[in-house]
Amino acid sequence: MNESFLESARPGGAGRAQKETLAQLNGVSSDAKEPGVTRRSLGEPTEGLSGKGHLNEVEPLLSLRGIDKSFGPVQALAGVDLDIPLGQVTALVGDNGAGKSVLVKTISGIWEPDDGQIFWEGRPVHIRNPKEAAEMGITTVYQDLALCDNLDIVQNMFLGREPTRYRLLDETAMELAAKRTLAELSVVTVRSIRQAVASLSGGQRQAVAVGKAVMWNSKLVIFDEPTAALAVSSAAMVLELIRQLASRGLAVIVISHVLNEIFSVADRIAVLHLGHIAAVGPISEFDPQKVATLMATGTSSWSSHESDSPSDPREL
Amino acid sequence: MSGSSRTPGEFTREEVTSTTDRSAGSAPNTRASEVALAEGSELMVNSLGEYVQAWVKRIRNGDSGVLPVLGGLIAIVIIFQVQNSLFLSAGNLVNLLVQGAVFVLLGMAEVFVLLLGEIDLSVGYVAGVGAAITAILASPFGGSWPWWIAIAAGLASTVFIGTLQGVLITRLHLPSFVVTLAGLLGWEGVMLFLIDHASPSSGGLISISNNIIYDLVNGNLNQVAGWVVMVLVVALFAVSIVLRDHHRRSNGLAAPPPSLTAMKIAVAIAAGVALLLVCDANRGVSIPLRGVPWVVLIVLGFLGMWSFLLGRTRFGRYIYAIGGNAEAARRAGINLSRIRTTAFALAGLTAGIAGIIYESRLGSISDNIDGGTLVLYAVAAAVIGGTSLFGGRGKMIHAVLGGIVIAAIYNGLGLLGVSASTEYIVTALVLLAAVTVDSMTRRGRATTSAR
C-alpha cells in the first residue's frame, strides 16, 4: 500500500497537481470535511488557504513516509514515518542530534528530503522552500522569533503581507485585525499594540509571533523550544497559547527538552532517536520515565504503543 | 493513569486547559479584565493630558524623536542672536534656508541608506557628477539643451550610479562602506574629467547659462503665489490629519484627541505664516527683493514625497524592517536585494537634486567642489537630526532639521567672522553630541526591553 502510492506520486513532479490523493487511496472521500472548525479570517483572505474545509480528523493534516535526509556521511533522518493530526499538539522529543531540527526544517521547507514522501491533506507535496511552506499554511515560530525590534506589534504581525488601499498601507485594517487576533488569544497584556516590539518581554514577543501565525490562517504551527529563553510565568503563558491553537483546530508541533512541559501541553508524542522514530503515540501511553529511556536508548521492551489496548507502562 | 507518576509542581494538562476554557468564555474573569486594562492604558487615551503623559513616558523610554535637535537648534539660534542681532534678520534667515538646502537634500539621500544600516560615502561626488552633466548639457558647449532635458539627464546619471553601487553591494555582498568609498574617489575622477573636457578655455568652470536652472535657488515665487501655495499646503495637511483621525475613530481605534489635532494645525499655520512673512520682507540691498525662494518649495516637496514613501508604502515599511532585523525581513518573504538597491538608487537621485541645487546657488560648477566634505555634512545632517547610524530608526524630517542646524552654525559663525577652523571644530562637537544622544537612546531602549 505504501509502495503503491509512493510510486503513483513520484511521476507527478510538482506533486500538488496529483489527482490521486492519499485520501482516495485510503478509501476516505476527500469530501468528508469537518464543518466545526471556525477560525477568524482577515478581511483580505489569503488565497488558497481559507474557504476550504478541513479533512476529517481521521485524516492527518501532514503525513511523512520514509523521510531520509543525509548531510554527507551523516544520516540525520532515516525512514521517518510520522502523522500530524489537526487539533492536536504533537510533541517532538529526542536527544541532541536525534534529528528534531532537521525534521522540522524539512517540514518548513528549509531542506528537501533525500527520499520519502510528504502528504499534505492527503495529497503528495514537495515543499521546496520556506515560502511554499508558508503558502500551504505551515508557520514556524523560531527561537529568535524573527521580529523587527524597531517596528511595532501591528507592523511585525503583517510584515511582508501588508494590505494596501490605492497602493498605500492600510493601517486601519491592519490594526483592527491585529487587535482582534490578540484579543482572541486573550493572554496578551500589552500597553498598546502600537508600541515597538523592543519594549516587550520575552513572553509577549512569543505571543506576537503566535498571533501572527493565527492571523494568517496557518494550519500547522511549529514551535522550536518555545519556552527555552523564558521566565516561568511567561512559559506558562506560552503553553496556554499552544493549547489554544490546538483547540482552534490547528495542528501544532512542539520541540522541547522539558518533559514536564510536554506532558502538560501535548496530546501526542513522537520520540526521535538517531534519526529514527523510536516511538509515537497518544501521550496517555507514555510517562516521563519511559520517554527519557526512549530518548536515551531508542528502544524499550514495551512495544505496544501502536496497539489499541495500551498496557500499563509501570509494568515495565 | 500516567498522571499518577507526575511529580507535584508541574503543569498539568487540566490546569492549562481550564485556563483556556475560562478565557475563551464570555464570563468576566481575570484574563479578560487584564486585557481590558491593557487596552485602557494607552490605546484609549482621550484627553490631552493623558496623551501628554503617554508622550512623556515614550521619551523616558528613549524614544525622544526630534526633541534633542529642536532643543539644540533653539540654543544655537539664541547664542548667535545674542552675539549678532543680524542673525535673525529676514535676509539672513532666507540666506540660511538657501544655504541649508544642499545639506538637507544630501542628508535625505543619506537617510535612505542609513535606515538600512548601510552608509553611502559617495553622495557628494555623485551630486557633483549629476551637476556637471546638467551644467554641460545646458551650456553652449553641450548643445544648450532645454532645462528639463539637462536636469533629467543629470538625475538619470545619478540614479544609474546609485543603482550600480546598490547592485554591487547586494549582488556581490560587498560592504557599502567600501563600495561607496570607491565611489567617493571614482566619481570625483569622472566629475573632473567631465568638467575639464567641457570647459577647455575657462579653466574648469562651467557657468549656468540656463535661466531656469539658475532660478531654482536664486528666483522667488511672487508674493501672491507664495501665500496661495502656503494656504494649499497647510489646508492639505489639516484635511489629511483630520480625515485620518476620523477614519480611525469611526473604526473604533484610538486617535489623538481633537485638541491635539487642533494644536498641530495651529502650529502648521503659524509656521507657514512665519515663513511667508520672513520671505516677503524686503531683503534686497539696493533693489527690493521679496518672495519665497523656489528652493524652499523644492525641499519641502521632497520632504513630503520621501516621508510619504517611507511612511505609507510597503517599500518604506520594508526599509525599516531590513534596518531593524534583516533576517526577519528575509523570512517574511521580502526581497532584500531589490529594496536595498532601490534605496541606493533613491539616494543617488536625491544626491543629484542636491548637486543641481548646489550649482544653481553658485551660478556655476567648478572642478574644485569638495564632495568629501559635502558627504560628511550629509551624514552629519542626518545623524544630528536624529537618524540612527545603526539602522531602522530615522525620518526625512531629521535630515531637514539636521541640515538647518549645520547651516545655522556655518552661517552664524560666518556672521561672527570666525575662521574656518572654528567652524569645523564646532560642527564636530555638535555631531559628537548628536551621536552620543543616538547611542544613549539605543542603550535606553535596550534596558527598557530587558526589564
Q: Which residues of chain A have a CB within 8 Å of the CB of B335?
A: none
Alpha-carbon gap: B443 to the closest alpha carbon of chain A (Å): 12
pTM for the whole thing?
0.78
Q: What is the pLDDT of residue B62?
A: 61
Nearest residue of B to residue A266, measured between CA atoms: B13
Q: Which of residues 21-60 of B touch A (CB under 8 A)?
A: 23-24, 31-32, 34-35, 37-38, 41-43
Q: What is the pLDDT of residue B130?
A: 96
Asked if the Cβ–Cβ distance from B16 to A239 is below 8 Å, we say yes
At B382, the amino acid letter reads A
Asked if the Cβ–Cβ distance from A175 to B11 is below 8 Å, we say no
Nearest residue of A to residue B8, measured between CA atoms: A260
What sections of B115-175 are H helices per DSSP? 123-138, 147-171
Highest mean pLDDT among A200-209, A218-227, B403-412 belongs to B403-412
Highest mean pLDDT among A194-203, B174-183, B247-256 belongs to B174-183
Nearest residue of B to residue A168, measured between CA atoms: B313
Q: What is the pLDDT of residue B447?
A: 52
Q: Which residues of chain A have a CB within 8 Å of the CB of B17?
A: 243, 247
Q: Which residues of chain B have a CB within 8 Å of the CB of A188?
A: 35, 38
Q: What is the pLDDT of residue B446?
A: 54
Q: How far is CA A138 from CA A82, A218, B38, B123, B333, in A?
A: 16, 6, 31, 44, 14
Dihedrals phi, psi of B37, to nearest 5 degrees: -60, -45
Q: What is the pLDDT of residue A94?
A: 87
Element (H, E) at B366: strand B364-366
- Quick one: pLDDT band at residue B442, thresholds 50, 70, 90? low
Identify which has the larger pLDDT, B165 or A128: B165
Inform me whether the pLDDT recorded for A49 exceeds 60.
no
* Mean pLDDT in residue range A262-284: 90
Inform me whether the pLDDT recorded for B34 exceeds 50.
no
Inform me whether the pLDDT recorded for A29 exceeds 50.
no
- Quick one: pLDDT band at residue B203, thresholds 50, 70, 90? confident
Asked if the Cβ–Cβ distance from A240 to B317 is below 8 Å, we say no
Q: Are B221 and B231 in contact (CB under 8 A)?
A: no
Q: Which residues of chain B have a CB within 8 Å of the CB of A195?
A: 42
Residues B66-78: pLDDT tens digits? Answer: 788 888 899 989 9
* Mean pLDDT in residue range B390-397: 92
From A131, A147, A162, residue closest to B328, measured CB to CB? A147
Which pairs with CB-CB distance under 8 Å and at least 24 residues apart come from B283-287?
Answer: B283/B89, B283/B90, B283/B91, B283/B94
A227: cell is 519556552
Choose the weakest-confidence range: A74-83, B38-47, B382-391, B395-404: B38-47
Nearest residue of B to residue A235, measured between CA atoms: B11
* Mean pLDDT in residue range A217-246: 83
- Quick one: pLDDT band at residue B63, thresholds 50, 70, 90? low
Asked if the Cβ–Cβ distance from A149 to B23 is below 8 Å, we say no
Q: What is the pLDDT of residue B102?
A: 95
From A148, A149, A244, residue closest to B20, measured CB to CB? A244
Inform me whether the pLDDT recorded for B238 exceeds 70.
yes
From B16, B43, B446, residue closest to A192, measured CB to CB? B43
CA angle, corner B275, sides to B360 and B305, nearest 5?
65
- Quick one: pLDDT band at residue B237, thresholds 50, 70, 90? very high
Q: How far is CA B424 from CA B101, B375, B410, B418, in A?
A: 19, 14, 9, 11
Q: Which residues of chain B have a CB within 8 Å of the CB of A134?
A: 333
Nearest residue of B to residue A172, measured between CA atoms: B248
B61 lies within 8 A of chain A by CB: yes
CA angle, corner B294, sides to B158 and B209, nearest 5?
65
Q: Give CA–CA dist A3/A6, Å, rounded.
A: 5
Inform me whether the pLDDT recorded for B30 exceeds 90.
no
Identify which has the larger pLDDT, B342 or B252: B342
Asked if the Cβ–Cβ distance from B20 to A199 is below 8 Å, we say no
Alpha-carbon gap: A30 to the closest alpha carbon of chain B (Å): 31
Asked if the Cβ–Cβ distance from A160 to B16 is below 8 Å, we say no
CA angle, corner A132, sides to A126 and A137, nearest 5?
105
Which pairs with CB-CB distance under 8 Å and at least 24 residues apart come from B164-167?
Answer: B165/B120, B165/B122, B165/B344, B165/B348, B166/B340, B166/B341, B166/B342, B166/B343, B166/B344, B166/B345, B167/B341
Q: Which residues of chain B have a CB within 8 Å of the CB of A265?
A: 11, 13, 16
Choose the weakest-confidence range: A45-59, B105-119, B244-258: A45-59
Q: What proportion of chain B, given as a percentage, has pLDDT over 90? A: 50
Mean of the per-residue pLDDT values of chain A: 75
Element (H, E) at B364: strand B364-366
Q: What is the pLDDT of residue B147?
A: 92
What sections of B281-313 are H helices per DSSP? 294-312
Q: Is B293 helix (H, G, I), strand (E, B) or coil?
A: strand
Asked if the Cβ–Cβ distance from B10 to A263 is below 8 Å, we say yes
Q: Are A265 and A91 in contact (CB under 8 A)?
A: yes
> Helix A232-247 crosses helix B13-24 at what angle (to 10 degrees)?
70
* Beta-carbon contacts below 8 Å between A and B: 148
Q: Give CA–CA dist B421/A195, Å, rounded.
A: 44
Inform me whether the pLDDT recorded for A256 exceeds 60.
yes
> Helix B123-138 crosses helix B336-362 at what angle (to 10 degrees)?
60
Using CA atoms in the order B242, B248, B254, B258, what is the torsion angle rounded to 10 degrees? 20
A76: cell is 540525520
Alpha-carbon gap: B438 to the closest alpha carbon of chain A (Å): 14
Asked if the Cβ–Cβ distance from B11 to A261 is below 8 Å, we say yes
Asked if the Cβ–Cβ distance from A199 to B445 is below 8 Å, we say yes
Residues B86-116: pLDDT tens digits? Answer: 899 988 999 999 999 999 999 999 999 999 9
Inform me whether the pLDDT recorded for A56 exceeds 90.
no
Q: What is the pLDDT of residue A312?
A: 46
Domain ranges of chain B: 64-222+291-441
Inform me whether the pLDDT recorded for B417 exceeds 80.
yes
- Quick one: pLDDT band at residue B251, thresholds 50, 70, 90? confident
Dihedrals phi, psi of A137, to nearest 5 degrees: 110, 25
Q: What is the residue-wise DSSP string for B173-236?
A: ---HHHHHHHHHHHHHHHHHHHHHHH-TTTTSEEE---HHHHHHHH-B--HHHHHHHHHHHHHH
Identify which has the larger pLDDT, A191 or B111: B111
Inform me whether the pLDDT recorded for B337 exceeds 90.
yes
B447 lies within 8 A of chain A by CB: no
Alpha-carbon gap: B69 to the closest alpha carbon of chain A (Å): 21
Q: Which residues of chain B have a CB within 8 Å of the CB of A159?
A: 317, 321, 328-329, 332, 334
B154 lies within 8 A of chain A by CB: no
Asked if the Cβ–Cβ distance from B2 to A263 is below 8 Å, we say yes
Q: What is the pLDDT of residue B115?
A: 96
Asked if the Cβ–Cβ distance from A160 to B329 is below 8 Å, we say yes
Q: Which site among A189, A286, A290, A311 would you substitute to test the B interface, given the most B Cβ atoms closer than 10 Å to its Cβ?
A: A189
Bridge partners of A82, per DSSP, are A64
CB atoms within 10 A of CB B330: 16
* Mean pLDDT in residue range A184-209: 77
Asked if the Cβ–Cβ distance from B34 to A169 is below 8 Å, we say no
Asked if the Cβ–Cβ distance from B448 to A198 is below 8 Å, we say yes
* Mean pLDDT in residue range B182-192: 95
Q: Which site among B15, B18, B19 would you substitute to test the A interface, given the most A Cβ atoms closer than 10 Å to its Cβ?
A: B19
Q: Give CA–CA dist B257/B49, Å, rounded.
A: 10
Q: What is the pLDDT of residue B331?
A: 79
Asked if the Cβ–Cβ distance from B329 to A313 is below 8 Å, we say no
Per-residue b or e along A83-120, where b marks 16 or more CB atoms closer than 10 Å to that residue's CB? bbbbbbbbbbbbbeebbbbbbbbbbbbebebeebbbbb
Tell me which CATH code domain B64-222+291-441 carries: 1.10.3470
Q: Which site among A89, A105, A149, A214 would you substitute to test the B interface, given the most B Cβ atoms closer than 10 Å to its Cβ?
A: A149
Asked if the Cβ–Cβ distance from A162 to B34 is below 8 Å, we say no
Nearest residue of A to residue B115, measured between CA atoms: A150
